[in-house]
Structure 1
Amino acid sequence: MDLLTVNDRMGEYPPSFYAHAATPLPRFAAPEGDLTCDVCVIGGGFTGLSAAWHLAERGFDVVLLEASRVGFGASGRNGGQVGQGQRLEQDALEAMVGKDHARALWTIATRSVELVREVAARDEVHATFHPGVIHAAHRARYVPEYRDYARKLRDEYGYEDIRFLNREELQGLVASPCYHGGTLDMGAGHIDPLELTLGLARLARGAGARIFEGARVVKLDKGSPAVVRTDSARVRANHVVLACNGYLGGLDPQVAARVMPINNYVVATQPLGADRQEEIIRGNRAVADSKFVVNYFRFSDDHRLLFGGTESYRYRFPRDIAGAVRRPMEEVFPQLAGVKISHAWGGTLGITMNRMPHFARVAGNILSLSGYSGHGVAMATLAGQIAAETIAGQAERFDVMASVPSPRFPGGSALRWPLLVLGMVWFSLRDRF
């Protein structure tokens, strides 16, 4: 199934609040004829645009190919939460790769949030980084784990920006009956993701990268140089960066075996006003809960509740996204029953078996960076910088990420989706009962 066209119109942004509110960029032209460059970047999201920007700043001649519009995919549609750490917690990483490797992964992850803060401060980026993410336990039995993890990060990793919240403290910050405690992480935050993506495009263009839209890649011929083919152009490149995430399709079977597309959904309410926003979530924090199918929510700069979550077990988006997301939103916030929803949209992201990003050299001169598993605003932005430094000959951080085990999905391309559906049904039932 063609995920670029099955749910969306090619060349148009989805009907999201972000697209409605964004400061638009003029459409970039489609590529034509034969082109040559040092590096061809495939994908115009966080990773691709960051790679193009950092490569161009280093003096590389860069061509970026985006099948639709820059920020069309998950980069421009997600919940906007800029999470601290890796997608897996540090104790899980220590068990997986050992303490030294886990510490190196933590250092990389903290740098990813710093980079988003730095990018957001640029004049080219019309987005504000708001500090603070609350992680909320939806089961009382999870609360000691949150307390212990906050202590671990402080004592073993020297991370002082996180603190434990008991039930009373959490409910003083989030006006919901659903949560029993958690943590407040002031080193993390939230941001308008489409504005961040468009800002990265301005930075890349300003540094000299050639950006093309409507440039769907139909074939990648490995070699030196590699040849990237679209319907209207052929690009010869000394290096290629695959930054496709959930929209890779069959472009590279090695990556497709390890990075699987799934869908998630977000709604925006009508503006609720500054006073009501403060009643619902104090201090303009973002929130993510402990459900397997995570509920995540925050407020926009114009005081709309942006609420994400909900699972679907097919590649097509549900017909009534607003109705599907309204159910968990009103469960978390009963006081919003019947509130008007102004925008509802879906998006496709890439997940991996172990929920860690998949970094790989698929050939000597071809890098792939994807599979952020819902934790990509910061990590995908840093991944572009890491791709640039790797092509420039400094591969230390790339190798740290690439050496994390990245298992294939069981069942191959034919069975991996049904098997995932079975797993998600089981965990979603566990969440409910």
Structure 2
Amino acid sequence: MIAILNNPTFRALFAAQVIALVGTGLLTVGLGLLAYDLAGERAGVVLGLALTLKMVAYVGLSPVAQAVATRLPRKGVLVGADAVRALVALCLPFVSEVWQIYVLIFVLQSASATFTPAFQATIPDVLPDEAEYTRALSLSRLAYDLENLLSPAFAALLLTLVGYSWLFVGTVLGFVVSGLLVLLAAVPPLGADAGQRPFRERLTRGIRIYLATPRLRGLWALNLAASAVGAFVLVNTVVLVRSGYGGDERSLALAMAAFGAGSMGAALILPRLLERMADRPVMMGGAQGLVVVALIMGALISFGGLPGWTVFLLVWAMIGFLYASVLTPSGRLLRRSAHAEDRPAVFAAQFALSHACWLVTYPTAGWAAQGLGMGGALVLLGLMALLGVVVARVVWPAGLKREIVHEHPDLPSDHPHLRAHGGRRHAHVFVIDDEHRVWPTQG
């Protein structure tokens, strides 16, 4: 896996990702402390609304930002988004009112909604070999999990030396260094045709390709399954550990570390596993495992109380492993489902639609825990995950071939596509594009 860092462009981009993640981790800790200073006991409400604004920016602005950015140089978009994030973080130490937090976080997350899909769509162009790209996805998964584990510890260390406002300075430095690394990297440009389409088509093209492709419709349903169980872990672990087990901050850190360790274990195993198995059975298996674990654990909590601490940690590690098994291969599906010039739009569609799932499951996890108890909430979210698995199995049937026999009754007989493939009826690797606007239902 580490061998792909020999590619200098990917090495620079991966370093940019890691450094930006560390900056984001410091921002998360600093923002919580800032909210408490400004709102006291209402800090949770402030942070909850800030997270909601983050999801609204991700869902609503990502396709719009991508449609606008298509006409701009790819490197300029990435560096510009990092510059905006750095400027916003630089403003945070001077915030004196709660509403200022909301405005700044919305602007920062809007920049992230521009940066992240564009960055993700760049990596397949840097690593065109599928095996190398799979290793890159696993390495990115490891980076996210390590950031979740190490950034809070790094922030705690800094807080023993300086005030929390300096955490925002660390965030600024993270985004500045990230932008410099992207600026120095040999980022491949977008295809010339991508920016020539009308704005309305650029705005909707990614969603249209996504929803017309069976494997991507299945991916959206599997995103729901993963986010349902994942939301329970991220929202309710603190309550389970502190109230259920009587644990302290270290116990909470250990529980989240177990979840992260399971996810990292999957990231290490998946590259070799995906050399032997197709994406669908791996992702379906992970999602089905999440359903089984959530329903069994929810029933046990409802009727028998919390299990022992060691069992709880093992279950959280298992959930982390299954969660990563669903999400890590998703980039392979996106890469396979669009031409290079359409990948930014498709990655932006995935970014928006997957976060739409979180926009539903995050509040559900919180409200259900209050109304149904922890066991009932986990069962409810397990049933949401089951719904996602059932929908995925229906809309993404097993055995779909990459090369599909199909016809083109709508194209003129002298069309270049027909000449290139030997007539109206032919077979090739099928993706949705200008010549293939719907998925063939039969050969």
Taking structure 1 as the reference length, what is the TM-score of the superposition?
0.25
Structure richer in strand, relative to its length: 1
Structure richer in helix, relative to its length: 2
Largest Rg, 1 or 2: 2
